Amino acid sequence: MDIVYAAEKPSIAALLSSFTRRVVSPDDIDVTENPAETGSFFIGGRFGRYVLSPNGEIAADAPGLAD
């Protein structure tokens, strides 16, 4: 059985806004699948690069990006 996860850019932008404490528009981000973890996404944009885990948590993809 194939399992497919989908995420809406507006929802991801809202999560990233909360995480970075900055207003992030869906047009400001690029979202791609993370092949290393099912249901995980890479988020890129002018504020840096982040990883969205399947449980909805966001973390900086590399040290110092969220600072």
User: Nearest 10 degrees: CA dihedral of 65, 45, 38, 20?
Assistant: 50
Q: How confident is the model at residue 5 (pLDDT cuts 50, 70, 90)?
A: low
Q: Which helix (H) or strand (E) holds 58?
A: strand 58-60
- Please name which of 66, 46, 56, 48 lies closest in space to residue 8, comparing C-alpha atoms: 56
The length of the chain in residues reads 67
The reply to whether the predicted model has a pTM over 0.85 is no
The tens digit of pLDDT for each residue in 9-40 reads 888 899 899 999 999 999 999 999 889 888 89
CA atoms within 13 A on the CB side of 16: 32
Alpha-helical regions (H) of the chain: 9-20
**Tell me, what amino acid is at 15?**
L
- What's the pLDDT score for residue 17? 92
Spans of all domains in the chain: 9-60
pLDDT score at 55: 86
